[in-house]
A = this chain, B = another copy of it.
Amino acid sequence: MAIVSRYTVALHILTWLAYWSEKDEFFPSDRIANSVGTSPVFLRRILGQLAKAGLVLVQHGGTGAGWKLARLPEEISLLDVYEAVVQTPLFELHHSQPNPSCIIGNGIQPALQTVYEDSEEALKRRLAQESIRDLVASSLEQGKQ
């Protein structure tokens, strides 16, 4: 299957927060939900992961409660977000155990592990090159057309 839409939503949240970050405010999850088009509860689950990763700050209680970026948009890479939100390895190995008395069945999993790790690294290197700041710029550019 694919990389969960949760990642897309996380990027949307951060891009939105970055766009409004000049005002030094905390924004409640249902204001963000209005842009993303999904439920505030779903967003808070993701925001919780982003907070644990140190990408956003949360303010509890009171009228001004909500969320804001913990760093400058240019200091949050898409890889940071990936690692905050996607915990599982990109490739799955066998669900059932290969036959260990077959020479291929015995050696294929460690062989694949190496290739899989290298490939996932290639993906991550690419994600590391892009920041939330880039996404804001690119979204504004695309949105005006």
Contact = CB atoms under 8 A, between A and B. Distances in A.
- Say how many copies of this protein the assembly contains: 2
Given A2-B91, A98-B37, A123-B119, A104 B142 contact: no
A114 to B, nearest CB: 7
Interface bin, chain A: 35 or more
A143 B103 contact: yes
Nearest to A130: B115
A64 B90 CA distance: 38
A115 B91 contact: no
Nearest to A4: B1
A118 interface: yes
A34 interface: yes
Contact of A135 (B16, B89, B96, B108): B108
Contacts of A125: 122
